[in-house]
Structure 1
Amino acid sequence: MTNLFTIFDPSTSMMKIQLNWTSSMLGLMIMPVWFWMMNNRYTMMMSKPLNMLNKEFNILLNTNNKGMTMMFISLFTLIMLNNILGLLPYLFTSTSHLMMTLTMALPLWLSFMMFGWIKNSEKMFTHLVPTGTPTLLMPFMVCIETISNFIRPGTLSVRLTANMIAGHLIMTLLGNSTMSVSTNMLLIMLIIQMMLLTLETAVAIIQGYVFAVLSTLYASEVN
């Protein structure tokens, strides 16, 4: 049990150098070269979900400008690739560290807040008091909304980190116990592992989608 969390250690076991972060760059190797490659099934498979995300993010942002959604689509692609690559054997899951998730969430939140309070100060003040709030509850609602705004980067990063850690720990525990089970239980354990791997693949995609959608909603509030 003392070595259970070694799969989340960013340093290698031999040189004690944090080289495992380089696994985050492996996603760039499988991305297609858009401008130098002819249309094929691989590029079509990548472009169709990205076009769907572009339409959905434009609806959330209430704009038809295609460039507005490129940042959030890139964010979704980065998180999804890192989550899926973390499911492969002997690959480090960078999104299981707050160092990685906070690096993405905190600058986004700071830029949204700075833009909103500088450009749209009156609308930002109105967000602190929802419509229909009784007069007596207005001071409390201001405190609650202020706290909720401050904890947004933490909730974004912790949600992604906790989901990645929980899934990997369950898979590690089941994998360690598979070696000691009887032959009759081996097939059942393998089926459970395959089902859990399928679930974790879906969670990897969903968590990237949730992170990008929430970031888009936060951007739409200050615009």
Structure 2
Amino acid sequence: MPKYNILVVDDEKNILKVLSMTLRGNGYDVDTAQSSEEGIEKFSKGKHDLVITDLKLSGKSGLDLLGYVKSREPDIPVVMITAFGTIENAVAAMQKGAFNYLTKPVNPDELLTVVREAIEKYELKRENISLKSELKQKYTFSSIIGKSAAMQEVFDTIRMVSKTQSNILIVGESGTGKELVARAVHYDSDRAAAPFVTIDCAAIPSEIMESELFGHEKGAFTGAH
């Protein structure tokens, strides 16, 4: 299990101590700060996977720290803790991107549950970003071999059409790399973050394929409505 580093910010020493002991006792590394300003400084200099902060702090508030974290690392979850558990405070925190909102006195089991959920969501985001980056790198132009003038023309065409919203028909003999070109177009486009879906056209009856691509009139074939 990887070690996760959590930044905990609270201006009450006893609460800070209890939170830190609870988290360290469950295998987390913990940095602590007693003000929003100190929290911002430690966050800017360190590497953290989660931030837990009191909402009401001396000086700048926990919302200021939340805003700073989200402006620098928007995917890092932030959990707010406060004795002032009003709906207004909760809404303000959520609107600024807080992952969750807990009230004092914090139940240790509830704290650990929220921490696990926050880190799991963060890990999923990181894995998703990493996977998309790998796919984009795998299917960019570097995956297509060719230095001839004809291939350079193909690359130029890919760059041109990938910036459009038009439907694209790629033709060529079997084994010439049509799918590689299709993937390169996709991952070079504004739609690169969306899934690339392949369909085996040979496995679909021709009349249904025509219907899917071009539409159909009612009664044109069995089941056409």
Normalised TM-score (structure 1) = 0.28
Q: Which has the higher contact order (CA 8 A, sep 6+)?
A: 1
Structure with more of its chain in helix, by fraction:
1
* Structure (1 or 2) with the larger CA radius of gyration: 2
Structure with more of its chain in strand, by fraction:
2
